[in-house]
Amino acid sequence: MKRLSICLLIIPFIFILFACSSESNPVEPNDNDLQGDVFEQNKLLGKGINLGNALEAPNEGDWGVTLEAEYFSVIKNAGFNSVRVPIKWSGHALQNSPYTIQSSFFQRIDWVIQQAFNNNLAVIINIHHYEEIMQNPSAHRDRFLALWDQIAEHYKDYSHKLFFEILNEPNSNFTAELWNAYYIQALQRIRITNPKRTVLVGLAEWGGPGSISKFVLPANENNMILTIHYYNPFEFTHQGAEWVGGSNAWLGTTWSGTLSEKSEVEQDFLSVINWAASKNIPVNLGEFGAYSRADLSSRVNWTSFIAQLCNQNNISFHYWEFCSGFGIYDTTNKKFIESLYRALIPANT
C-alpha cells in the first residue's frame, strides 16, 4: 500500500515534467534524416510569401505590422507552402563581443516559427537590414559570424522545414568579392551545429540577377539554394515609393505584358536559370513585387508573369509581401486583394 501511495505521488510530477519539456521543445523536432535532397527541399518551399515590415523593422510594429497567429492559418488556407521571415537580428544584439542576442527576441522568433509549423508551413529566417555591415564589412565581420553562431546553435534541433538565409541583399561596400568570402565563412559556422540544414544564399549588389557571374560557390556543399530578388523594371515596381528618391516621377508607369516587356524579364531569368543548371543548384525567388501606387491591373499582369516563370522553371518563390505596401492581404477587412492573390495562386491550382 505504501508503494502504491508513493507511485500515486510520483505520477503527477512525471506529467508536470513531461509538460514542461514539451513546451520548451520546437513543435517539430529535428527530422533532418527524413528530408529529401536539396531540390526536394526547394519544392517544400514551393509558393511562399514574405512576412515583411514586421521583424526587420527596428522594433516589431514600428512599420505598421505586428505578426498575429491568425496570419499563418490565413496564409496556409490560401494555398501557400511557406513563409519567409525577414529579421533584424543586429538590432537586438550587443554591439560588442560576445554580441549576445536578446533572449526575449529569440523567444519572439521561436513563436513565429512555431506558428508556421503549427500550420504546416515551411519557414525561412534570415539576417535582414544589417545596414552597418553594408557600409563597413570588416568592422562587422566578427559580429555577423557571432550572430550566426547563436542562431545556428539555438535552432540546431529544429525540423528540416526551417531554412536559414545568410544575409539579405548585400550592397554598397559589401562587394561581391567580400560577399563570396563572408558567406562561405558563415556557412562553415552554420555547418558546425547544422550539418544537414538547407541554407539559402543570395547575390551581391542588392540580390538581383545582374551579379550572377560574380557569385562563387563553396566546395563540397550540396545543401544550398541560390536565392535572387527581382524588381525589374524598377521604375514600374517602385513608382511612388517614399524611400526611393525621385520615384514620384515614375508614377503612371504601366506593365501590360507586351512581347518586349516579357522578353526583358525572361532574359534576366534565363541568365540565372542557365547558371544554376550548370552548377546543379536549385533557385528560389526570395522577393518580387510591385508597390501599391502602381495601377492594380499592371501589378497583376507583372506578378502573374513572374509567378508563371517560376512555376515553369521549378523556382520556388516568396512574394513581397503579405500585408503592407506591396501586400496582397487587407488586415482591416481580413480579405485578400483577390486579383493580386490569384496572380500568385490561380484558382485552378
- Predicted confidence at residue 71, as pLDDT, reads 98
Asked if the structure places residue 4 within a domain, the reply is: no
Distance CA 283, CA 43 (A): 10
For residue 281, give the CATH number of its domain: 3.20.20.80
Q: Is residue 295 part of a domain?
A: yes
Any catalytic annotation for residue 169? Answer: yes
Quote the pLDDT of residue 27.
56
Distances in whole angstroms, Cα of residue 34 to Cα of each of 24, 40, 48, 196: 23, 11, 22, 11
Please check whether residue 20 lies inside any domain of the structure. Answer: no
Domain range holding 154?
A: 31-344
d(CA 94, CA 13): 39
Q: Does residue 9 form part of some domain?
A: no
Looking at 165, 205, 287, 321, which residue is catalytic? 287
pLDDT at 13: 38
Instruction: Provide the pLDDT for residue 206.
Output: 98
Residue whose C-alpha cell is 541560390: 226
DSSP string, 261-308: HHHHHHHHHHHHHHHHHHHT--EEEEEE---TTS-HHHHHHHHHHHHH
Q: Say if 17 falls within a structural domain.
A: no
Q: Helices in 68-156 by DSSP H: which ranges?
A: 69-77, 103-118, 131-135, 137-154
Interacting residues of 178 by C-beta distance below 8 A, sequence separation 6+: 137, 170
Q: Report the C-alpha gap between 115 and 73 in whole angstroms.
A: 8
pLDDT of residue 199: 98
Per the structure, how many domains does the chain have?
1
Asked if the structure places residue 3 within a domain, the reply is: no
Query: Would residue 221 show up in a list of annotated catalytic residues for this protein?
Result: no
pLDDT of the chain, 349 residues: tens digit per residue? 434 343 334 434 333 333 443 344 455 667 777 677 999 999 999 999 999 999 999 999 999 999 999 999 999 999 999 999 999 999 999 999 999 999 999 999 999 999 999 999 999 999 999 999 999 999 999 999 999 999 999 999 999 999 999 999 999 999 999 999 999 999 999 999 999 999 999 999 999 999 999 999 999 999 999 999 999 999 999 999 999 999 999 999 999 999 999 999 999 999 999 999 999 999 999 999 999 999 999 999 999 999 999 999 999 999 999 999 999 999 999 999 999 999 999 998 6
| pLDDT score of 214 | 97
Note whether residue 97 is domain-resident: yes
And the C-alpha cell for 275?
Answer: 547558371
The pLDDT assigned to 348 comes to: 81
21 within some domain: no
Catalytic residue among 169, 205, 235, 338, which?
Answer: 169
The helix or strand, by DSSP H or E, that contains position 260, with its residue range, turns out to be helix 259-279
Query: Directed axis angle between helix 69-77 and helix 103-118, to 10°?
Result: 30
**CA 50: distance to chain centroid?**
6
